Amino acid sequence: MAAERPSDLALIWQQTRYQNKIFWRTPIAAFFTLVFPLMFLILFTAIFGNEEISGLGVTTAQFFAPGLAVFAAASATYTNLAIGTAISRDNGILKRVRGTPLPPWIYITGRVVSAVYIGALAVVIMMGVGVAFYGVNVYWRTIPAVIVTFLVGVACFAALGMLVAAIAPNGDATPAITNATLLPVAFISDIFIVTDDPPAWMEALGNFFPLKHFGDAFRAAFDPTLTGAQFHWDNLGYMALWGVVAVVLAARFFKWEPSKGGGRRQKKREKAGA
Amino acid sequence: MTAVEVRGLVKTYGSLRAVDGIDLTIEKGEVFSLLGPNGAGKTTTVEILEGHRESDDGSVQVLGFDPAAGGREFRERIGIVLQESAVEPELTVTEVLDVYGDVFPRRRPTGELIELVGLEEKSSARVKTLSGGQQRRLELALGLVGDPDLVFLDEPTTGFDPSARRQAWSIVENLAGLGKTILLTTHYMDEAQFLADRIAVIAAGSIVAEGTPDTLGGREQAEATIRFAIPAGKSISDLPIRPVSTANGMVTISHPEPTRALHQLTSWALDNGVELGALSVQRPTLEDVYLQLVGDENGG
Ligand SMILES: Nc1ncnc2c1ncn2[C@@H]1O[C@H](COP(=O)(O)OP(=O)(O)OP(=O)(O)O)[C@@H](O)[C@H]1O
Ligand SMILES: [Mg+2]
């Protein structure tokens, strides 16, 4: 009987496909991941004009599009994985999965691969709109670095998303946790604003979190004033470190059972007076 | 062959001993039903057997596995219908059965399962649009998708309409016919009566009675109840047997030997040329026995 077992690869592909389906059937998630970051690009170029930013030697779009692409990729992995996984646990879906022969790591991998795929799509949309409408330049010599930086970055943020899912008390609390972390960090990571002379503590804080490293490494690949392949191993290594720590902690605290009293289903029943 | 073997099972939540020393043996091919009031410890017991929860004491063997450590091989052979669970609300009925079915080495075709639980009209509907009972039917189908040797059904028919319940019963009967082992919890006594080969009644974490539906709690030896309407023109003092009660013109007689009592009553009726209207003879129902058993436990 063991011979007829589906292969791991087939199962991962299957799980990924269904997670993608679920994503596209949740319009609110699709909007916030794919469309919402684009609105910043449109806004910033409208407010500042698409001129060369003084002191940086790049246009507004050339500077912000890579950073916003990184922000979108982080949303697709960190925010979506944390919220989606926590809600699935509340609903009892994770428990159901745990009762089947599907190896848990394959289920998690399916969710992560789906999130990475959506993240890649978000990056392509952002850079594509930049190239098509805002004169953003892409350089062939940095494409390998773009891909590697993207993969290391989303791996790190996917791990952080799973960590939030692991420690969040319930699905309702998760959006608050992800928004209250990702947004402030984005402000000190040169995603939405660039501060000429930030206070030392703010710079230190920005450097502490992985988002700035993701943004810096990714943006360097689109910087017209630089040359070479633009692999920033220091940034990549730092993100990898965050990722590994997050994976270890997430694995340590991850639960498949809904917490007693925190679940949506439970609440629904209480409301119904059952 | 034994499918489930449980000895001295204990599970505590804080200071509560939710399961307090249970012994159970379920043979392969048996339909075994756990009955008991809310909070008796049925779900806790079943979920330990499924590998969802860990016990605090005692030994558990399910299909030869320790469920807490059984892993993939174990889960390939069991099917689970949880008391409280959910399915991906964004997927359709067909998609859900496909994605969960494909993780089993041996699986039942999606179309066959949809037909089995009567969801043909909803096969391409999103799960979130199903009614409560329809969703429960889908969960039953999901419990069978891997063609399991042992099926855990924790209140599988709660929320079913009467015809869906009958349909579910025939599904379980068919499974039993195929030699599958079934562990069923239910609050419906007619369900246990109809389906179970054996029943254990559990109250406050302990088993208070065990037996077949017909012998549980000494049911086969209990007094039968005979009821009929008092014939016109006759009074209670004319009857050959003292009734235990009369109300609204109906007489109730309890008797350890219903054959003899009936013979006396019908002879008397024939001799007097009267009819015993609405005559009935009843053993105590499973529900009567059950209520007595759990009532005793609550009182003592
Ligand atoms: N995770 C838990 N944490 C704390 N207490 C629990 C937990 N699960 C169950 N209990 C308690 O254990 C006892 C047995 O619960 P269980 O769910 O096994 O009952 P049950 O017989 O299935 O009841 P029902 O017929 O209502 O489904 C109850 O008192 C319940 O409150
Ligand atoms: Mg229960």
- Give the mean pLDDT of B105-119: 94
Instruction: Assess whether pLDDT exceeds 80 at residue A39.
Output: yes
Q: Which residues pair with B281 in a beta bridge?
A: B226
Most confident of A47-61, A74-88, B270-284: A74-88
Q: How many CB atoms lie within 10 A of CB B4?
A: 21
Q: Specify the range with the lowest mean pLDDT, choosing from B13-27, B111-125, B190-204, B220-234.
A: B220-234
Q: Please tell me the predicted confidence (pLDDT) of residue B285.
A: 85
Instruction: Assess whether pLDDT exceeds 50 at residue A269.
Output: no
Q: Specify the range with the lowest mean pLDDT, choosing from A18-32, A40-54, A233-247.
A: A40-54
Q: Pairing state of beta strands B245-247 and B57-62?
A: unpaired
Percentage with pLDDT > 90 across chain B: 69
Q: Tell me, using a 6 A CB cutoff, whether residue B39 lines ligand 1.
A: yes
Buried b (16+ CB within 10 A) or exposed e, B67-100: beebeeebbbbbbbbbbebbbbbbbbbbbbbbbb
Using a CB-CB distance cutoff of 8 angstroms, which residues of chain B are in contact with residue A25? 90, 126
Most confident of A120-129, A165-174, B278-287: A120-129
Write out the two tokens for A39.
């609105």
**Mutation test residue for ligand 1: of B9, B13, B53, the one with most atoms within 8 Å of CB:** B13
Instruction: Assess whether pLDDT exceeds 50 at residue A1.
Output: no
ipTM score here? 0.87
Q: Is there a contact between A95 and B146 if contact means CB atoms under 8 Å apart?
A: no
Q: Tell me, using a 6 A CB cutoff, whether residue B18 lines ligand 1.
A: yes
Provide the pLDDT confidence category of residue B296 given band limits of 50, 70 and 90: low
Q: Please tell me the predicted confidence (pLDDT) of residue A52.
A: 84
Q: Please tell me the predicted confidence (pLDDT) of residue B237.
A: 84
Closest CA to B108 of B72, B81, B146: B146
Quote the CA–CA distance of B258 and B276 in Å, as a whole number.
Answer: 15
Quote the CA–CA distance of A31 and B235 in Å, as a whole number.
Answer: 82
Provide the CATH topology of domain B1-77+149-221+285-300.
Rossmann fold (3.40.50)
Using a CB-CB distance cutoff of 8 angstroms, which residues of chain A are in contact with residue B80? 96, 99
**Domain spans, chain A:** 8-273
- Give the mean pLDDT of B56-74: 94
Is the separation of the CB atoms in B11 and B5 below 8 Å?
A: no
- SS3 letters for B72-108? HHHHCCEEEECCCCCCCCCCEHHHHHHHHHCCCCCCC
Q: Is there a contact between B82 and A95 if contact means CB atoms under 8 Å apart?
A: yes
Buried b (16+ CB within 10 A) or exposed e, B154-166: bbbbeebeeebbe
The Cα of B134 is separated from the nearest Cα of chain A by a number of Å equal to: 16
Instruction: Assess whether pLDDT exceeds 60 at residue A270.
Output: no
Point out the ligand 1 atom lying closest to the alpha carbon of residue B155.
Answer: 27
List the single residue in A25, A101, A257 with the smallest CB-CB distance to B76: A101
Q: Is there a contact between A21 and B91 if contact means CB atoms under 8 Å apart?
A: yes
- Give the mean pLDDT of A148-175: 95
**Domain spans, chain B:** 1-77+149-221+285-300, 87-147, 223-282
Instruction: Assess whether pLDDT exceeds 50 at residue B120.
Output: yes
Instruction: Assess whether pLDDT exceeds 90 at residue A116.
Output: yes
Q: Please tell me the predicted confidence (pLDDT) of residue A266.
A: 43
CA distances from A208 to A97, A146, A189, B200, B246 (A): 36, 22, 10, 60, 86
Q: Is there a contact between B100 and A100 if contact means CB atoms under 8 Å apart?
A: yes
CA distances from A213 to A26, A156, B2, B148 (A): 30, 11, 60, 50
Provide the pLDDT confidence category of residue A57 given band limits of 50, 70 and 90: confident
